[in-house]
A and B are shown apart, each in its own frame.
Chain A
């Protein structure tokens, strides 16, 4: 797992002294695309009406209703879900020291998927606001199971966690797939829509609980940033520096399950952001978690919002779901970055 020692020194896209400036610039960009997302949609609403809807809401006006009850929650959801996945990815990769690790590796996505299918197939639940809670429950159980299977309580070993998580994910996804094949068509139909990952049609009853959970997860993540730096030095050095690995692993896993679980439950599985946003952040800001976490948060949020907007524009009059758009936009950019710059390895 140890990265090979490369002789050329690592350099980042931006200088250390400029990190603060770029962080602010990134926030400005995010604010810009967020506003854009509120003004652009498949149904044309003029900018003036949109502003009116935000500042002097009139419940009798259908355009106002559209802006306030669909576009705003949807945009905010893209913002928090993207950010949550980006931060969960940073923690996962820092913890396992594995560049292939995404938040899904803790079994979170697969657990949520199976729970959602079970809820749709056997309990007959259709409302997204309820489906979400089943997703969250599934994510939590799967995360805890991986923790136990990997024997984290007996001593932390990143490779075991990664393998146990992947194995459990494969098993759970296989059961999910078999359930969808062997049950009523409508179950598959519903699951298919959930499984592409979308912000379409999510309203405040999804946004508010998701945002609250993600805030808790983000707080834990920021508290962990220094501990993650020592963990990525290796377990031995970490221990020598007086870090309790079990404690770090527990809180990290908790943060990942909350962040990735809430994101997946709210928007369905979106894999690309959690995997690549941390790598992009590492190219931009270097390996220090204090900077890595906010940069990854910004990059992932921006990517999610931009992808959501472009999915509406390109797919017009239909939509291309955000899970697909994110990878189509982010993929080439990511390959370019990897080729152009040296990445500080995990």
Chain B
């Protein structure tokens, strides 16, 4: 047996056969996913030790496994820090998956839920709720989800022509609707009263503050249920990247696959936005970072999810590390972490 089977240096496909069954796999991809998984776990546990009250790593592990002595620290971990960390993980994962799908559907490296107007629409919903109506957290989250989903539906319907939504027409329609809505957003922020405008501005920066289990469950259930379904459809979506005609000839129901993947991706983005507000750049950066690490442009949902989770967690840890008293919203920190990481990877690699 050759040593390259153990030490993957480039992302060559390998096939594992057993009788008539065979599975193709890429060693580098598996390695990347495995390392990301370890890093997410490590960051998650480490993030739970950070906070006003000092809690050691061991106590965190004990509390999660349910073997530690019950007390204030255990309650803090289980009721405050664990929900926050889980929100970070699943929000990141949902956005990572969503971004990967939209980059594939739009055949564009800049693809993200914004392609279909979701992010802008969600902001419109939230700002309208804050500026025009009342400001309860639940109402704002719901308004954001409704705004985003309605916008996505409108963009999709406008882009459909004789039953087909071309990737190109989808992008352009999304640009048009997105810019109208973002103008409306600015208008509401400028013309609304100052207090509401400041509230809305805070919501726009995203937040992981005071997240409870109520924030965790929807996005957690969404990711756990949808990811397996989407991974089944992934192969078909990857084929569609070659062109609608080609995929149709290969026996793929192009429109049906594309519509269901867009639908799932929007649902995930909606859950993520409801849980933490708009978190910038994860959807765009996570799939790109993964494809650079794997040295392959192939669509990857699982690793993109892990990368998204890792970026949000890392941003959260970094905020708590900051030595000076400055307020840094999580939505901005994810932009800085993801952006610098992507630039660094780009300057290092020559490919792509």
Contacts from A to B (Cβ < 8 Å): 1-7, 98-101, 148-151, 154-155, 157, 159-160, 162-164, 166-168, 170-171, 173-175, 177-178, 181-182, 196, 271-272, 275-276, 279, 320-321, 323-328, 330-332, 334-335, 338-339, 343, 345
The reply to whether B166 and A167 form a contact with Cβ atoms under 8 Å apart is: no
With A98-B108, A343-B168 known as contacts, the answer to whether A174 contacts B336 (CB < 8 A) is yes
Q: Does B264 contact A (CB under 8 A)?
A: no
Select B186's contact among A98, A182, A324, A339, beta carbons within 8 Å: A324
The reply to whether A167 and B175 form a contact with Cβ atoms under 8 Å apart is: no
**Nearest neighbor of B284 in chain A, beta-carbon distance:** A166
The reply to whether A99 and B335 form a contact with Cβ atoms under 8 Å apart is: no
**Nearest neighbor of A182 in chain B, beta-carbon distance:** B326
Q: Does B296 contact A (CB under 8 A)?
A: no
Further 11 A-B residue pairs, CB within 8 A, beyond A4-B167, A164-B342, A339-B169: A1-B108, A100-B171, A149-B346, A167-B342, A167-B343, A168-B339, A331-B176, A335-B176, A335-B177, A338-B176, A343-B169
With A157-B352, A164-B343, A343-B168 known as contacts, the answer to whether A5 contacts B332 (CB < 8 A) is no
B175 contacts across to A, CB distance below 8 A: 99-100, 275-276, 279, 334
The reply to whether B180 and A331 form a contact with Cβ atoms under 8 Å apart is: yes
- Distance between Cα atoms of A320 and B340 in the complex (Å): 36
Q: Would you give the 0/1 interface string for B321-352, flagging 1 where the beta carbon is closer than 8 Å to chain A?
A: 00000111100110110111011001100101
Could you write out 10 A-B pairs with CB less than 8 Å apart?
Answer: A1-B109, A4-B244, A160-B346, A178-B328, A272-B183, A323-B186, A327-B180, A332-B176, A335-B158, A335-B180
Q: Could you say which of B180, B243, B338 has the most chain A C-beta atoms within 10 Å of its C-beta?
A: B180
Q: Does B280 contact A (CB under 8 A)?
A: yes
**Chain B contacts with A in 25-84, Cβ cutoff 8 A:** none
The reply to whether B173 and A324 form a contact with Cβ atoms under 8 Å apart is: no
The reply to whether B179 and A163 form a contact with Cβ atoms under 8 Å apart is: no
The reply to whether A2 and B107 form a contact with Cβ atoms under 8 Å apart is: yes
The reply to whether A182 and B327 form a contact with Cβ atoms under 8 Å apart is: yes
Q: Does B245 contact A (CB under 8 A)?
A: yes
Select A171's contact among B340, B347, B352, beta carbons within 8 Å: B340
**Chain B contacts with A in 247-299, Cβ cutoff 8 A:** 280-281, 284-285, 288
Q: Does B232 contact A (CB under 8 A)?
A: no
Q: Does B239 contact A (CB under 8 A)?
A: no
**Chain B contacts with A in 200-252, Cβ cutoff 8 A:** 205, 243-245
The reply to whether A98 and B350 form a contact with Cβ atoms under 8 Å apart is: no
The reply to whether B158 and A339 form a contact with Cβ atoms under 8 Å apart is: yes
B12 contacts across to A, CB distance below 8 A: none
The reply to whether A151 and B186 form a contact with Cβ atoms under 8 Å apart is: no
**Chain B contacts with A in 149-174, Cβ cutoff 8 A:** 158-159, 161, 166-169, 171-173
B285 contacts across to A, CB distance below 8 A: 167
The reply to whether A171 and B168 form a contact with Cβ atoms under 8 Å apart is: no
Q: Does B182 contact A (CB under 8 A)?
A: yes
The reply to whether B327 and A99 form a contact with Cβ atoms under 8 Å apart is: no
With A99-B171, A163-B288, A163-B342 known as contacts, the answer to whether A331 contacts B179 (CB < 8 A) is yes
A325 contacts across to B, CB distance below 8 A: 183
B335 contacts across to A, CB distance below 8 A: 170-171, 173-174
Select B173's contact among A150, A160, A162, A338, beta carbons within 8 Å: A338
